[in-house]
Amino acid sequence: MEMIADILLVAGAIGAGFYCYILARRLSRFNDLETGVGGAVAVLSAQVDDLTRTLRAAQTTASESTTSLDHLTDRAENVARRLELLVASMHDLPDANAQPAMPAREAGAEPVFRRHPDPAGGTAQ
């Protein structure tokens, strides 16, 4: 009986050793940096680093753009205030296209008609 137990024990140890050998080979292929999951992890890690750098650059650009837009908005508000003041002051000026007031006609005065010379050099008809 002992001999059978020893044979089964040796067979189990050989089977476990073979199983461990197969698992070790699969694990080495799994962690291979070229084709396995290890390579995928390495690629993903590099992509994360690239995205982190890109994100920092985008945040820096966005903060600079925000500062620039704030400055431009302040300038635009100042110009708008000045334009409002100019438009408000234009209401006080007389209209440039308005005809000057005609002097009142004297009672009994006849209208006078004149011909102006033709600007092209000829005479008006």
Look at the pTM and tell me if it is higher than 0.85: no
Place of tokens 């040796």: 10
- Tell me which residue has tokens 């698992």: 23
Per-residue pLDDT of the chain (125 residues; tens, 9 = 90+): 899 999 999 999 999 999 999 999 988 887 776 777 777 888 899 999 999 999 999 999 999 999 999 999 999 999 999 999 988 888 777 666 666 555 555 666 676 777 777 676 655 55
Report the C-alpha gap between 23 and 17 in whole angstroms. Answer: 10
* Domain extents in the chain: 9-90
